Structure 1
């Protein structure tokens, strides 16, 4: 589904990424991990179009999207969440989620501005679809009409996931989806990610600090260190890889390190 090939990204004289390639197979969950400064977020910014690399290409479902802006990549079927919560206060959960559906709406600017019947009907149908397919899936029914600022941190992160899902993307990029959550919230988010993959056959690429989550739900793990790829394989292969243990998990203490959240 996603092929990121030989990415080279530099800022001045600093190489953020050197020869990084990531292949996320369709309907699989691929995790990108690595120590602090490994280049994980820089890689996501390249994939989603916020950074333009000096070398390499990004191919989504057979289409080279390397030259496209972030908005155009969204129309191609790419959706992303971010590390920091960026919801619109003063709006309820349902309205925040609706904002993610801009790629699915057909009404033009004039129709929306004058609130023509076609626009109102389209927005009404969209609301029903969101409540049935997404709000229910992520168990947000009880807070659908609650202002987002009144929600707990864990629920707000779930609303962000819902907003990304409303596009029904081919590939979903999750940037630290369980950062700052307690143990129960992490378990719930892991379950929701698995449900999305199973119910919608969505391909997922994620960055995550929590190694327990990564090892539990991922089909494949890619490891970066100082902007370079050092390993790629199944969770079990990564867990026992000596180079990964040395660079990331901690020499001689991989069992402890693998259960801790790490940058």
Structure 2
């Protein structure tokens, strides 16, 4: 579903990504892990179009989208959440979720501004679809009409996931979806991500520091260290990889990683 091929990204003399490639198979959960500063978020920003790399390409469902803006990539079927919650306060849970459906709506600015019949019908159908497919799936029934700022942190993260899902993306990018959550909230979010994959066959690309979540739900894991790929494989293969162990123990230079790999 997603092919990220030989990405090179630098900011002046600082190399953020060097030769990074990721293959996310359709209907699978692929996780990108690595110590702080490994380049995970930079990779996500390249995939979603916020950063333009100096070299490499991004292909979604067979289409080269390397030259497309973030908004254009959304229309191609890409959706993402962010590490820091980016909900709109002063709006209800349901209204925040509806905002994620902009790629599906056909009404223009004038139609929406004058609340024409076509717009009202389209919004009514959208509300029914959200109720049917998303509110129940993410267990947001009781809070759907509450202002988002009144919700607990874990519920706000769940609303952000719902907003990303409403466009029924081909690929869902999740940037640290359980950061700051307690144990119970992490377990719930893990279950929701797996349910989305199972029910909708959605391809998921995930960044996360919580290794219990990553190893519990991922089909494939890619490991970055200092902007370079050092391992890729199943969770079991990655867990026992010497280079990965070295990186997470704080061995930070290329020589140490090379020695660990050779071992």
2:102 counterpart SS class: helix
Mapped partners of 1:118, 1:72: distance in 2:
25
Displaced runs of 4+ in structure 1, greater than 6 A?
A: none
> C-alpha offsets along residues 194-222 of structure 1, whole Å, 9 cap, x if unaligned?
00000000000000010000000000000
Name the residue aligned to 1:33: 33
Name the residue aligned to 2:136: 136
Name the residue aligned to 1:145: 145
Per-residue deviation, 1:110 = 1.3
> C-alpha offsets along residues 132-162 of structure 1, whole Å, 9 cap, x if unaligned?
1101100000101011011000000000000
1:99-138 to structure 2, matched below 5 A, reads 99-138=99-138
Check 1:178–1:2 CA distance in 2 against 1; reply closer, same or farther (3 A cut): same
Structure 2 gaps, min length 5: 252-263
Mapped partners of 1:154, 1:109: distance in 2:
34
1:178 counterpart SS class: coil
Mapped partners of 2:174, 2:3: distance in 1:
17
Name the residue aligned to 2:208: 208
User: So what's the TM-score if we normalise by structure 1?
Assistant: 0.94
1:72 counterpart SS class: helix
> C-alpha offsets along residues 168-197 of structure 1, whole Å, 9 cap, x if unaligned?
000000000000000000000000000000
Name the residue aligned to 2:157: 157
- RMSD across aligned positions (CA): 0.8
Mapped partners of 1:136, 1:15: distance in 2:
44
Question: How many residues are treated as equivalent by the alignment?
Answer: 251
Mapped partners of 2:30, 2:98: distance in 1:
27
2:90 counterpart SS class: coil
Mapped partners of 2:168, 2:145: distance in 1:
22
Name the residue aligned to 1:193: 193
2:188 counterpart SS class: helix
Name the residue aligned to 1:181: 181
Mapped partners of 1:207, 1:159: distance in 2:
18
- The yes-or-no answer on 1:98 pairing with 2:102 is no
Mapped partners of 1:123, 1:249: distance in 2:
52
Name the residue aligned to 2:254: none
Mapped partners of 2:178, 2:196: distance in 1:
16
Mapped partners of 2:214, 2:196: distance in 1:
16
1:41-80 to structure 2, matched below 5 A, reads 41-80=41-80
Per-residue deviation, 1:36 = 1.2
Mapped partners of 2:95, 2:247: distance in 1:
44
1:205 counterpart SS class: strand
Per-residue deviation, 1:67 = 0.1
